[in-house]
């Protein structure tokens, strides 16, 4: 039997992934290579919604790709590629844009959050249509499951709605309906300085975010200065102790120890001891990734070659879907 297909993407919008990206997404992607037909991409077309310079886009796309490989994605076992290398993404996005209501797109909460930053009217139209490009990414590959953090749930619901609409309107079983694949314990890693908000490259302060490619010394300082809560017990309690709870989740995910075991281990211990252990677990996880990413970035030609292999595999699947979709919608064949 064919393996179920899994697909996900990450934006090259900063110089490093952060701990939320790693725990909520990329770390789940690695074992899925063994059980699924896996496609993972650096979504550079999404990144231009916030207008990076050409040099930034180029550098960040390679840094993102290098981190994916450094985190354990294997070009032999999954297709790792850059979104813009498969032209069909933009084409299918346009077709889906024409099938999406303005009101429907306007309900996307991530657009509301992100556009608020630019001031009303100044956000690009691309930022508004961003979730529809994401729907195209997913549908092109007949994806069964999409491993993401909780913030992407609404975009996957929109993707399902659009797939269903297309299939119903054009009378063909053109697209597979995808499901989110979300690991509850790590679906929302929060900001170290504001533990009720998501750790986010666009809205967290530098002190609130732990970058995968960051120096160990800085990582340690940030964890030690993380906002903790009143009282001194180290127990999970989202309501009253969001800071400690976030750190417990992080330590649990990084060490494979349950939260209950951690709570038992730290009875009577102070926040200082606990945070030191969290910092060490983060550093131990990130150091080898950083080392591997640096090696990959030192040989750009080889990195680009690895991405070309991934793009060729992705293109084959995307082209097949697009042929079906064009024909279903009524576009004339080119030959
Ligand atoms: P992006 O680049 O913002 O984030 C990449 C992945 O990291 C997850 N994530 C988190 N998970 C837990 N806690 C956090 N604090 C946290 N912050 C980020 C995100 O949920 C995501 O899974 N729109 C997507 C990129 C995309 C995509 C796709 C995803 C484009 N096309 C197709 C899946 C399928 C995004 O902006 O991710």
Residue nearest to atom 6 of ligand 1 (CA): 21
CA–centroid distance, 147 to ligand 1, in Å, is 9
Q: Which residues make Cβ contacts (< 8 Å) with residue 177, sequence separation at least 6?
A: 160, 163, 164
CB 47 within 8 A of CB 13: yes
CA–centroid distance, 124 to ligand 1, in Å, is 20
Ligand 1: residues within 6 Å at CB? 7-11, 20-21, 24-25, 43, 46, 134, 137-138, 146, 148-149, 151-152, 187-189, 198-200
Catalytic residue among 198, 222, 241, 275: 198
Q: 324 burial class (0-12, 13-18, 19+ CB within 10 angstroms)?
A: middle
The pLDDT of residue 1 = 74
3-state secondary structure of 6: strand
Substitution site in 6, 14, 20 for ligand 1 pocket (most atoms within 8 Å of beta carbon): 20
Q: Which residues make Cβ contacts (< 8 Å) with residue 194, sequence separation at least 6?
A: 204, 208, 227
CA–centroid distance, 210 to ligand 1, in Å, is 16
CA–centroid distance, 150 to ligand 1, in Å, is 9
Is 188 designated active site? no
Is 324 designated active site? no
Rounded to the nearest 10 degrees, what angle do helices 54-70 and 271-297 cross at? 110
CA–centroid distance, 151 to ligand 1, in Å, is 7
CA–centroid distance, 111 to ligand 1, in Å, is 14
DSSP at 241: B
pLDDT by residue, tens only, the chain of 335 residues: 789 999 999 999 999 999 999 999 999 999 999 999 999 999 999 999 988 999 999 999 999 999 999 999 999 999 999 999 999 999 999 999 999 999 999 999 888 888 887 776 888 999 999 999 999 999 999 999 999 999 999 999 999 999 999 999 997 799 999 999 999 999 999 999 999 999 999 888 999 999 999 999 999 999 999 999 888 999 999 999 999 999 999 999 999 999 999 999 999 999 999 999 999 999 999 999 999 999 999 999 999 999 999 999 999 999 999 999 999 999 999 87
The pLDDT of residue 121 = 81
The whole-angstrom separation of Cα 21 and Cα 24 is 5
Question: What's the pTM?
Answer: 0.97
Atom of ligand 1 nearest to the CA of 152: 20
Atom of ligand 1 nearest to the CA of 155: 23
Substitution site in 13, 26, 28, 43 for ligand 1 pocket (most atoms within 8 Å of beta carbon): 43
Which residue is associated with the tokens 């951690």? Answer: 262
What is the secondary structure of 178-229 as a DSSP string?
PEEE--GGGS--B-SSSTTSBP-TTTS-GGG--BTTS-HHHHHHHHHTS---
The pLDDT of residue 204 = 86
Is 198 designated active site? yes
Atom of ligand 1 nearest to the CA of 149: 20
Query: Pairing between strand 5-10 and 37-42?
Result: parallel
CB 18 within 8 A of CB 210: yes
The pLDDT of residue 120 = 67
């Amino acid at each position: 039997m064919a393996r179920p297909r899994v697909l996900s993407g990450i934006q090259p919008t900063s110089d490093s992934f952060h701990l939320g990206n790693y725990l909520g997404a990329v770390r789940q992607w690695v074992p899925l290579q063994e059980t699924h037909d896996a496609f993972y991409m650096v979504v550079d077309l999404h990144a231009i919604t916030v207008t990076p310079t050409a040099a930034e886009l180029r550098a960040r796309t390679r840094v993102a790709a290098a981190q994916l490989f450094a985190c354990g994605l294997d070009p032999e076992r999954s297709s790792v590629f850059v979104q813009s290398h498969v032209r069909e993404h933009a084409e299918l996005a346009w077709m889906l844009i024409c099938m999406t209501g303005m009101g429907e797109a306007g309900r996307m909460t991530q657009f509301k959050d992100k556009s608020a930053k630019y001031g009303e009217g100044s956000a690009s139209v691309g930022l508004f249509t961003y979730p529809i490009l994401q729907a195209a990414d997913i549908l092109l590959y007949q994806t069964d499951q999409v491993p993401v953090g909780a913030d992407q749930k609404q975009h996957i619901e929109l993707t399902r709605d659009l797939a269903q609409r297309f299939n119903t309107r054009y009378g063909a079983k053109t697209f597979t309906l995808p499901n989110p694949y979300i690991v509850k314990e790590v679906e929302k890693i929060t900001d170290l300085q504001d533990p009720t908000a998501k750790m986010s490259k666009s809205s967290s302060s530098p002190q609130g975010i732990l970058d995968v490619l960051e120096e160990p010394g800085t990582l340690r300082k940030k964890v030690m200065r993380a906002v903790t809560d009143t009282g001194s017990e180290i127990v999970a309690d989202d309501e009253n102790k969001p800071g400690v709870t976030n750190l417990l989740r992080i330590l649990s995910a990084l060490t494979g120890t349950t939260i209950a075991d951690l709570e038992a281990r730290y009875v009577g211990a102070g926040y200082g001891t606990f945070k030191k252990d969290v910092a060490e677990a983060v550093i131990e996880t990130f150091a080898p990734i950083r080392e591997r990413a640096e090696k990959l970035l030192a040989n750009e030609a080889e990195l680009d070659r690895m991405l070309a292999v991934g793009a060729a595999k992705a293109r084959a699947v995307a082209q097949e879907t697009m042929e079906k979709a064009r024909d279903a919608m009524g576009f004339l064949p080119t030959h």
